[in-house]
Structure 1
Amino acid sequence: MESNKKNAIPLSFENKEVVFIKPSKPTPSSVLSLSSIDNDLNFFIQALLVYRSASANQNSPTYIDSNTNAINTTTTKRDPAKVIKEAFSKGLSYYYPLAGKLVKHADGKLRINCTSDGVPFQEAFCNCNLSCVDYLDGEDIEMATQFGVDFPSEDEYGNQYPMAFKLTKFMCGGFTFAWRFNHSLFDGTGITQFLVSVAELAGGESEPSVKPVWERETLVGKITSEPMKNPMENANVAVSPLLPTAEYVHACFKVDKESIARLKTSLMKDIDLNTMFMKKGFTTFECLAGYIWRARARALKLNNDGETMLNITLGVRALLDDPLPTGYYGNAIVESYVKLVAKELMEQPLLEVVKHIRQSLIPSLNNDYCINFIDTIETKPMRFDYESGAITILTDWRHLGSLDKIDFGWKEPINMIPIPSEVSGPSGMYDILPPSKVDPSMTGGVRFFISLPSAAMFTFKEEMKLLTRNDPKLNL
């Protein structure tokens, strides 16, 4: 659905007062420290899940809300807000730090004060059916901000709530479930573990199948005399004439299975698969990472002689020699860096860019790199000039366990998307996403979320048309 059609729908909302979900049982009162990685990620992330009405799912009950006439009165039985709030209360008795406050102490480190004050939760009603907004599966992801958490992230003393939730019901009986969390508490795997536990409790289980483990000291680094060198510290950083700006736009692009196959075929035609380096060919991530990185550089019109870098987020759970305990839900991620001169990135064949990504990733996929990275951010965290446009951060949501399968009792979500925030544009943070279940033709494909200056979006869209058009002679 085109964004101009969506914008023609006048949406109105009825928001209830924010309430605080507290643990269902007494919990310890303590102050908990965070890991080195946690302390390096003090910013908020928002995302949402989209659920169809129960009547649209076979053999599932539907609900009625006695507090409003907005919901279709032919539905019966359960109210998702009530079910989810009760399950969260039970879940917080296990994940009790989340019901506290995140505080920066005098040493500059973040800690959780376990106060059991509760997690903010808001219930809302929207005056349309989910189908009217295409289940939020269109290119215009900006619309998702209307269903996100929009109340304060901190109390009157400036202490941060670790997370907050908002559930918006639609006239069809469907709903969206949005969450905002401080990244210092979770990585994608961690938030997924928590939401799976809540879904299990909503489904009638007496306790989560995986018990949470704090143990953030496991990933506290040591002060090192040989920290990793900042790859862009003394670089001739590329700059964009379109930055800085306050005018950012956000979009979510679809790349179907066939387009990915054509991209791989085009890249592989000149590769010697007998070399150890190319034993199994390129992954979908490597191919798309190269294409997105190059397309963004072209759209931003980066100066040719400046240097640009791709930051790839890597999960360390499978890389560490000493495995993290089962149930650990803190951040277990590091970054790998791929650097090129902008002219090389934008003008050489895409094959060379993707090969460079592969060559740069290989040294990062081991225990020693991960430990060195953690020691470095404990000693001297690396900081980059995001405002220049030279840095692109890429994360992959396709490997977050069961995030797109969270079932609170209304079947699994039909869609899962990030919500644009004020850091989305300036940070250069892009996300590769699994396809929604709205469009069957996207099975096997991917989506990706981007934020760009409004003046750059047209060029980026043209680059995307080259990728997704059915042209077997696509010149990359």
Structure 2
Amino acid sequence: MEYEKAPLNIEKEDVLLVKPSKSTSSCILSLSTLDNKGANNNIAQTVHVYRSSSIHDYDSSFNPCHVFKEALSKALFYYYPLAGRLVRHTDGKFRVKINTDSVEFGVPFLEATANCTLSSLHYLDNTNTEIAKHLVLDLPSPQDKNYPLVLMVTKFLCGGFTIGMGMSHAICDGFGASQFFKAILELARGRTEPSVKPVWERENQVGTITTQPFPQCPMDRESVAFSPFVNQPNTKIIKQYCFKVEGETITRLKLSLMNENIRFTTFEVLAGYVWRSRARALKLSSNDKTMLNVLVGIRRNLMDYETLPKGYYGNSTIDAKVVLKVSELDEMPLYKIVKLIKETKNIAFTADYVRNSINSLETNQEDGLSMELEASGAVTVLTEWKHLGFQENLDFGGYELVNFLPAPCKMLATVDACIFSSANKLDDHDPSMDGGVRIFTSLPVAAMPKFKDEIEALSHRVLYALCVLSQIVNDSRVLLGGGWPEMVMAKEIDALDRKTRGKKSLTMEAFTRALLAIPTTIADNAGLDSAELIS
């Protein structure tokens, strides 16, 4: 794409520390069991893209850096722990040290200016998201890594700007980070205080040591699947890409998986499909195991909800893990995979599971094996950002938020990372993205073409028709009078297509028209309404 060829030059000011607008007390704060999870000891970077709204004339005197910095200072009075430093206690757990007299007290803030317009970068609405990592603040020295929050505002020639926010996952999860970001923008728009007051109360979310903890990882080193693309000298480059799945495609996929009166959510059907697609793209060893780790939010589902008061901005997700042999994941009907994911999620929503998970994590804080296996490529860690609130009414100063995305650095650029996010404002002009989903996933560059093919296959009418048939026909041979030989042929072609790199071969394309007629024939022979099923 053209934006990848154009140089992006960014002129940066000196990093300064933004302090709370009013004085706060020095103290040391403890964190919850979920905050202290090993995988959370990292920075999650996001980029928020703003352009001038259509009803707002560009005002050259408006300085987004000044407005945002002033609002940040006001917000830090309420969220003062974010101006402190993360320190490791003698018990191995993290604390937040707030020393208002220290010269290091405050939030690192960087103002920058880019040499281009946001439209020349397509407002960062691209398949390749690499450009985003240049728009976040990455402090170089090891001691700087202890800042819970870093921010960077970059102005563009068009008057638009981006806000890059790096938040320690040990302090906030996505919901908490969104709550803080909203508070800044509310204050930037003139409110005197945030609409939601922050609540710390991490001490109420500490587990109890148990003699029967959950296993932290249901796989071991001997059984984990191997990918030829991971940890190899010539294939170790990992990049994050964004794929858009249209709303109609998702609806058809969900309809194709309807069975036994079970209805699946968009997240569940895409989780099953993406997990399998990643395994195929990575060419995982078929006789070994792969795991899907779904990060399940407990704020709205936990039965003893009063333990998470409104305004709580600490971590509130637990792991729901599904393990299969790679061969099972590849060959099992998608319906069964999705059903397994749904059942695992439902169990994870129960109060008993949540409490046992927290107690187990408190008992075995060090989760080194899980983190090691996540870096192997055999694990997909999946989270959903659709309901975090990062795209809800976050305009200010006559500028509208048109895009929001994870930056491909730190914890969001590892080979296991996969994020589902809703369509952005730029997709409003595209009716096909109504109800659509953006999939952000990180993979070795060598594995990405196959994953791209798998995602594109979702919207392919032939594969959809075959998917419908696989659900309504348990054994195609029962359809006497025709359809069985054609079904076998179609499945063979489908299997061959999965092994074909790049676009379909011309030979496969020649079969397309003939295959399109097969679903109608088979459904009619079964006494089913083919028009209702396939139209």
Q: Specify if TM > 0.5.
A: yes
The equivalent position to 2:248 in structure 1, one of 258, 262, 276, is: 258
- For 1:235 and 1:360, the matched residues in 2 are separated by 24
Provide the residue aligned with 2:14 in structure 1: 17
Q: Tell me whether 1:446 sits opposite 2:437 in the alignment.
A: yes
Residue aligning to 2:495: none
**The residue matched to 1:359 in structure 2 has which SS?**
helix
> Aligned in 2, Cα 1:35/1:360: closer, same or farther, shift over 3 Å?
same
- In the TM superposition, what whole-angstrom CA distance separates every residue of 1:292-326 from its partner, at most 9, and x where no partner exists? 00000001111111111100011111214142122
Q: Is residue 132 of structure 2 the alignment partner of residue 144 of structure 1?
A: yes
C-alpha separation between the residues in 1 aligned to 2:375 and 2:186?
42
2:158 maps to 1:172: yes
**What percentage of aligned pairs have identical amino acids?**
45
Question: 1:369 corresponds to which residue?
Answer: 353
1:63 aligns with 2:59: yes
Structure 1 window deviating more from structure 2 (372-381 vs 145-154): it is: 145-154
Could you list the per-position Cα deviations for residues 162-208 of structure 1 after superposition, in whole angstroms to 9, with x for gaps in the alignment? 01001111111111111011100101110111111111111111111
Indicate how the Cα distance of structure 1 residues 410 and 161 shifts in structure 2: closer, same or farther if over 3 A, else same.
farther
Indicate if the aligned counterparts of 2:28 and 2:96 stay in contact, CA closer than 8 A: yes
Structure 2 CA distance for partners of 1:223 and 1:412, relative to 1, 3 Å: farther
- C-alpha distance in 2 between matches for 1:112 and 1:202: 27
**C-alpha distance in 2 between matches for 1:473 and 1:104:** 52
Superposition deviation, residue 249 in structure 1: 2.0
| Corresponding residue of 1:242 | 229
Structure with more of its chain in helix, by fraction: 2
Question: How far has the Cα of 1:247 moved from its partner?
Answer: 1.0
Matching residue of 1:267: 257
For residue 90 of structure 1, the aligned residue among 46, 68, 74 is: 74
In the alignment, which residue of structure 2 is the partner of 1:436? 424
Q: Which amino acid aligns with 1:330?
A: G
Query: What residue in structure 2 maps to residue 459 of structure 1?
Result: 450
What is the CA-CA distance between 1:431 and the residue it aligns to? 0.4
TM-aligned CA distance change 1:468 to 1:141, over 3 Å: farther
1:212-231 to 2 correspondence within 5 Å?
Answer: 212-229=198-215, 230-231=217-218
Structure 1 residues 19, 410: CA separation in 2 closer, same or farther (over 3 Å shift)? farther
Q: How does 1:413-428 map to 2 (within 5 A)?
A: 413-428=401-416
* Equivalent residues of 2:239, 2:408 under 8 A apart: no
> What SS does the corresponding residue of 1:405 show, helix, strand or coil?
coil
**Matches of 1:200 and 1:461 in 2, distance apart?**
39
How far apart are the structure 2 equivalents of 1:27 and 1:57? 41
With the length of structure 2 as denominator, give the TM-score of the two structures: 0.81
Structural mapping, 1:295-314, within 5 Å: 295-314=277-296
Partner of 1:74: none
CA deviation after TM superposition for structure 1 residue 142, in Å:
1.0
In angstroms, what is the RMSD of aligned CA positions?
Answer: 1.8
For residues 372 and 235 of structure 1, what CA distance do their matches in structure 2 show? 27
1:339 aligns with 2:323: yes
Instruction: Tell me if 1:134 matches 2:92.
Output: no
Q: Which residue of 2 aligns with 1:327?
A: 311
Contact 2:49–2:161 (CA under 8 A) maintained in structure 1: yes
1:44 partnered with 2:43: yes
Structure 1 counterpart of 2:54, which letter? N
Matched position secondary structure for 1:302? coil
Distance, in Å, in 2 between the alignment partners of 1:190 and 1:101 is 18
SS in structure 2 of the partner of residue 197 of structure 1: helix
Q: Is the 8 A contact 1:416 1:436 kept in 2?
A: yes
- How many residue pairs align between the two structures? 448
CA distance in 1, matches of 2:437, 2:425: 11
Structure 2: how far apart are the matches of 1:177 and 1:316? Answer: 28
Following the alignment from structure 1 to structure 2, what is the Cα–Cα distance between the partners of residues 223 and 418?
A: 35
Q: 1:290 aligns with which of 269, 272, 275?
A: 272
Task: Give the drift of 1:100.
Answer: 0.9
**How many Å apart are 1:340 and its aligned residue?**
1.0
Please tell me whether the aligned partners of residues 466 and 474 of structure 1 are also in contact (alpha carbons under 8 angstroms).
Answer: no
Provide the C-alpha distance between the structure 2 equivalents of 1:239 and 1:301, rounded to a whole number of angstroms: 8
Distance, in Å, in 2 between the alignment partners of 1:223 and 1:33 is 17
Does 1:35 find its partner at 2:18? no
Q: Deviations over 1:132-168 (max 9, x none)?
A: 111101101111112122333754xx66110100111
What TM-score does the superposition give when structure 1 sets the normalisation length? Answer: 0.90
Deviation at 1:407, TM superposition (A): 2.7
CA distance in 2: counterparts of 1:395 and 1:112, whole angstroms:
26
Q: Distance in 2 between matches of 1:258 and 1:470?
A: 12
Q: Deviations over 1:42-71 (max 9, x none)?
A: 111100110012xx331x46432xxxxxxx
Q: Which residue matches 1:198? A: 184
SS at match of 1:355: helix
For the residue of structure 2 that corresponds to 1:450, the secondary structure is strand
User: Does the CA contact (< 8 Å) of 2:133 and 2:407 recur in 1?
Assistant: yes
Structure 2, unmatched stretches of 5+, are 468-535
User: Structure 1: which 5+ residue stretches go unaligned?
Assistant: 65-76
In structure 2, C-alpha distance between the alignment counterparts of 1:325 and 1:454, rounded to whole Å: 43
Q: What residue is the counterpart of 1:67 in the other structure?
A: none
What letter is aligned with 1:257? G
Cα deviation, residue 11, structure 1? 1.8
